[in-house]
Amino acid sequence: MSNITFTMIKPDAVANGHIGKILDQITTAGYQITAMKYIHLTEKTAGEFYAVHSERPFYKDLVSFMVSGPIVAAVLKKENAVADFRTLIGATDPSKAEPGTIRNLYAKSIDANAVHGSDSDENAAIEASFFFSNLERF
């Protein structure tokens, strides 16, 4: 069991003014922010990040959406970080996300679903180091 996960506040949630409320919900749930940046992804970077989904029918739309506006990327620390964060954000499709979860509160559709959360300890480590150097992590 690892103690870190990686998240992004996606372009829809940033554009809708939800950065502050989402970060508040995350820290209230007991996560410490150990790295954070506010950036606009390029097609190349977004494509590489989601390369695992390159064979899925929604890949092209997903990359286009992720470069449609700035995002907030962060590394989060807490015991059982990955699994607890998936519970905190809710299902990929916000219409199926539990009440009170971040996607239930702030997402409108399965593609524009407000936040990313790592799906395993291994991917959390890969994703955190894709975005942040050691000098940017505390």
Contact residue for ligand IDP among 12, 113, 124, 127 (CB under 6 A):
113
CA 124/CA 102 separation, integer angstroms: 19
Ranges assigned E (strand) in the chain: 4-9, 32-39, 71-77, 115-117
Say how many C-beta atoms besides its own lie within 10 A of residue 122's C-beta. 11
Contact partner at residue 84 from ligand IDP, Mg ion, none, CB < 5 to 8 Å by partner kind: none
Contact partner at residue 62 from Mg ion, ligand IDP, none, CB < 5 to 8 Å by partner kind: ligand IDP
Amino acid at site 1: M
Count of chain residues binding ligand IDP (CB under 6 A): 9
Q: With binding defined as CB under 6 A, does residue 62 bind ligand IDP?
A: yes
Contact partner at residue 130 from Mg ion, ligand IDP, none, CB < 5 to 8 Å by partner kind: none
Query: Would you call 72 helix, strand, or coil by DSSP?
Result: strand
The token pair that represents 135 in the structure block: 């000098």
Say how many C-beta atoms besides its own lie within 10 A of residue 100's C-beta. 10
Which residue is catalytic, options 18, 40, 53, 116? Answer: 116
Are the CB atoms for 88 and 76 separated by under 8 Å? no
Instruction: Give catalytic status of residue 116 as yes or no.
Output: yes
Contact set with Mg ion (CB under 5 A): 119
Contact residue for ligand IDP among 3, 21, 40, 111 (CB under 6 A):
111
Residue nearest to Mg ion (CB): 119
- Name the site residues for ligand IDP (rule: CB under 6 A): 53, 58, 62, 92, 110-111, 113, 116, 119
Active site residues: 116
